[in-house]
């Protein structure tokens, strides 16, 4: 859409014009655009990213950036700035399709919806997740690193609360959902036994992970083509446990934070996009790690 700036309200009756040198994307569905009783529509500016930042954004890692495939691999709708315009503005603008294929249309709509429907995790849980947030941020887009290689095979990170989010302490599980084919899928009753060599390397006598997450990712990347299915499955499980074990609240955190989790830990669960059930999807929340932040007081007169 050939719109080079969009309005942003800064105070009552005051507007700042947000530059949109690459144009803007119409977010409103066509069915709403053509209805005469709905006089407005919504737009967001297009941002161009470099390839390093674009790949994780295309994979849905940043909820504020939604890929616009027909404009190229580096073009994104930036949902940090969404403006409402009157439909009369459309008459003087040149437009083109930014999303054409039905699969892309579905993904585009889902990711716009995700931006505004993200779950607000309890304030006392957020500090526990921050270490994982920092780990992801430090490796995002670096596919040459072992951790970046591993995160590139993750479809989604979801947090599951066993008894719902009614009150603390919460029993939480970090569900790491891998792309189909990364690890074999086994029936629960036919899960092969962990090889002794893998068990001795991964876990101590208390069942805690011994190597760091990066060391486990390094072995997975190095031996990816030679690992047998059973070993690959269990080493990936160890990496998931290591990521979950990294979720530790600061020792100087408020007591309400330190008491927020059952057993003072988040458990890890290795899943694949093939075996993660809809029921678990309904009872878990996606971790948009780049948007985790403590609640701020908000007052509007």
Closest CA to 249 of 144, 130, 164, 92: 130
The 8-class DSSP code of residue 92 comes to G
The 8-class DSSP code of residue 54 comes to H
Question: Which structure tokens are listed for 285?
Answer: 């929340």
Collapse the DSSP code of 9 into the 3-class scheme (helix H, G, I; strand E, B; otherwise coil) and give the result: strand
Pairing relationship of beta strands 65-67 and 75-78 according to DSSP bridges:
antiparallel
Distance in angstroms between the alpha carbons of the first and the last residue of the chain: 36
- With tokens 């709708």, the residue in question is 77
pLDDT tens per residue, the chain (301 residues)?
568 899 999 888 899 999 999 999 999 988 888 888 889 999 999 999 998 888 878 877 777 899 999 999 999 999 999 999 999 888 878 888 999 999 899 888 888 887 877 788 999 999 999 999 888 876 655 667 898 899 889 988 999 998 889 999 999 999 999 999 999 888 777 889 999 999 999 999 999 999 999 999 999 999 999 999 999 999 999 999 999 999 999 999 999 999 999 999 999 999 998 889 999 988 899 887 655 544 433 333 3
Domains of the chain as residue ranges with CATH? 5-117 (2.30.30), 126-291 (no CATH)
Q: Please tell me the distance from the alpha carbon of residue 218 to that of residue 146, in angstroms, as a whole number.
A: 5
Asked whether the beta carbons of 172 and 159 are under 8 A apart, the reply is yes
Model confidence pTM above 0.85: no
Element (H, E) at 172: strand 172-178
Q: Please tell me the distance from the alpha carbon of residue 49 to that of residue 31, in angstroms, as a whole number.
A: 30
Pairing relationship of beta strands 284-286 and 154-161 according to DSSP bridges:
antiparallel
């Amino acid at each position: 859409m050939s719109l080079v700036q969009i309005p942003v309200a800064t105070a009552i009756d005051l507007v700042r014009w947000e530059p949109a040198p690459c144009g803007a994307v119409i977010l409103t569905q066509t069915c709403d655009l053509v209805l005469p009783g709905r006089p407005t529509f919504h737009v967001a500016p297009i941002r161009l990213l470099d390839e390093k930042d674009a790949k994780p954004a295309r994979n849905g890692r940043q909820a504020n950036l939604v890929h616009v495939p027909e404009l190229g691999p580096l073009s994104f709708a930036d949902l940090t700035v969404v403006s409402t315009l009157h439909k009369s503005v459309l008459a003087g603008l040149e437009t083109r399709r930014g999303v054409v294929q039905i699969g892309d249309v579905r993904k585009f709509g889902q990711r716009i919806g995700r931006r505004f429907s993200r779950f607000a995790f309890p304030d006392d849980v957020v500090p526990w997740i921050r270490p994982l947030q920092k780990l992801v941020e430090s490796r995002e887009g670096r596919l040459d690193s072992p951790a970046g290689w591993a995160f590139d095979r993750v479809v989604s990170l979801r947090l599951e609360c066993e008894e719902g989010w009614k009150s603390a302490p919460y029993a939480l599980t970090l569900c790491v959902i891998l792309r189909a084919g990364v690890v074999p899928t086994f029936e629960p009753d036919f899960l092969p036994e962990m090889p002794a060599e893998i068990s001795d390397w991964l876990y101590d006598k208390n069942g805690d992970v011994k190597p760091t997450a990066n060391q486990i990712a390094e072995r997975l990347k190095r031996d990816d083509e030679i690992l047998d299915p059973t070993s690959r499955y269990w080493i990936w499980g160890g990496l998931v446990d290591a990521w979950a074990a990294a979720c530790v609240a600061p020792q100087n955190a408020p007591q309400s934070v330190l008491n927020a989790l059952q057993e003072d830990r988040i458990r890890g669960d290795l899943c694949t996009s093939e075996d993660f059930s809809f029921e678990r999807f309904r009872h878990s929340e996606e971790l948009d790690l780049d948007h985790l932040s403590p609640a701020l007081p908000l007052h509007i007169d």
